[in-house]
Amino acid sequence: LMIAAEPWPTVSRIVSWVAFPCIFLTFGLASSVAARALARFGDYSYGVHIYAFPVQQSTLYLLPNLPMSAYVLLSLGLTFALAAASWHFIESPALRHKPRRRTPLVLTAA
């Protein structure tokens, strides 16, 4: 649809506003065997989200002449290591203190 709308910039922009969220939601909500296998180790998504930018910026600042491939690999490795540590030592233990959901009270007619 986006390729078909390409000759018309305004239409293409409107289509992208609808198509991109649909594409991202489709991939984000999809489940796969690989994703389920990785999920058993923990949920590192929040750690990746909060640590990626500082790690990337720090790596670039401290090692400005690093080749791009090494920069990406180092940033990924450090980010995932911090995300894993965050999950196992901070997030998961904190979730144990979260109040459990109570079962709703069901009223029946007498």
Does position 41 have pLDDT exceeding 90, yes or no? no
Give residue 110's pLDDT: 59
What's the rounded Cα separation, in Å, for the pair 102 and 93?
20
Q: What's the chain's length in residues? A: 110
Does position 63 have pLDDT exceeding 80, yes or no? yes
Question: Which residues neighbour 69 within 8 Å (Cβ) at sequence distance 6 or greater?
Answer: none
What's the rounded Cα separation, in Å, for the pair 13 and 11?
5
Does position 25 have pLDDT exceeding 80, yes or no? yes
